[in-house]
Amino acid sequence: MPKSEPKLKWISELGKNPPIIAASCDLNGIWRGKRVPIANLEKVLDEGIRIPLSASCLDIWGSDLINSPFLFESGDADGYGLPTEIGPVPFFSNKKDSVLIPLWLFDNKKNISPIDPRHILNSVCKKYEDLNLYPVIAFELEFYLLNENNFKNIKFEQNDFTNVLSITDIEDHEVFFDELHDLCEKNKIPMDGISSENAPNQFEINLKHTADPLQAADQAILFKRFIKGIAKKHEKRATFMAKPFPNIAGSGMHIHFSLLDKNKNNVFNNNSDIGSDILKNAVGGILDSLKDSTLILAPHYNSYKRLRPGSHAPINICWGYENRTASIRIPGGDYLSKRIEHRVAGADANPYLVLSSVLSSALYGITEKKEPPKPLIGDTYQKKTMQIAQSWDQAINDFEKSKKNKKFYFDTFCEVFKNCKKQELEVFNSRIENYELVTYLEEI
Does residue 152 register a pLDDT over 70?
Answer: no
Q: Please, what is the average pLDDT of the chain? A: 90
Q: Are 399 and 422 in contact (CB under 8 A)?
A: no
Q: pLDDT category, 4, cuts 50, 70, 90?
A: very low
Q: Which pLDDT does position 125 carry in this prediction?
A: 98
3-state secondary structure of 410: coil
Does residue 54 register a pLDDT over 60?
Answer: yes
* Range name among 149-163, 205-219, 391-405 with the lowest pLDDT average: 149-163
Which DSSP letter does residue 106 get?
E
Radius of gyration of the chain (CA): 22
Instruction: State what percent of residues in the chain have pLDDT above 90.
Output: 68
Task: Summarize the confidence of residues 27-52 as an average pLDDT.
Answer: 92
- Condensed to tens digits (0 to 9), the pLDDT of residues 73-87 reads 665 788 999 999 988
- Condensed to tens digits (0 to 9), the pLDDT of residues 134-145 reads 999 999 999 999
* Domain range 6-115, CATH class: alpha beta
- Condensed to tens digits (0 to 9), the pLDDT of residues 213-252 reads 999 999 999 999 999 999 988 889 999 999 998 888 899 9
Which DSSP letter does residue 20 get?
E
- φ and ψ of 36, to 5 deg: -125, 150
Dihedral angle computed from the Cα positions of residues 217, 229, 35 and 353, in that order, rounded to the nearest 10 degrees? -20
Options 3.50.50.60, 3.40.50.720, 3.40.50.970, 3.30.590.10; CATH for 123-409 is 3.30.590.10
Q: Which pLDDT does position 102 carry in this prediction?
A: 95
Quote the pTM value: 0.93
Report CA-CA distances (Å) from 103 to 40, 190, 290, 325: 15, 21, 30, 37
Q: pLDDT category, 207, cuts 50, 70, 90?
A: very high
Does residue 1 register a pLDDT over 50?
Answer: no
CA neighbor of 250 nearest in space, from 259, 258, 237, 241: 241
Burial 426-439 (b: 16+ CB within 10 A, else e): eeeeeeeeeeeeee
Does residue 151 register a pLDDT over 70?
Answer: no
Largest CA distance in the chain: 72
Bridge partners (DSSP) of residue 376 are none
Domain locations along the chain: 6-115, 123-409
Q: Which pLDDT does position 161 carry in this prediction?
A: 56
Q: Which pLDDT does position 159 carry in this prediction?
A: 47
- Condensed to tens digits (0 to 9), the pLDDT of residues 317-341 reads 999 999 999 999 999 989 999 999 9
Which DSSP letter does residue 432 get?
-
Using N-to-C axis directions, what is the helix angle for 351-368 and 277-297, rounded to 10°? 140
**Can you tell me the distance from the alpha carbon of 288 to that of 278, in angstroms, rounded to the nearest whole number?**
15
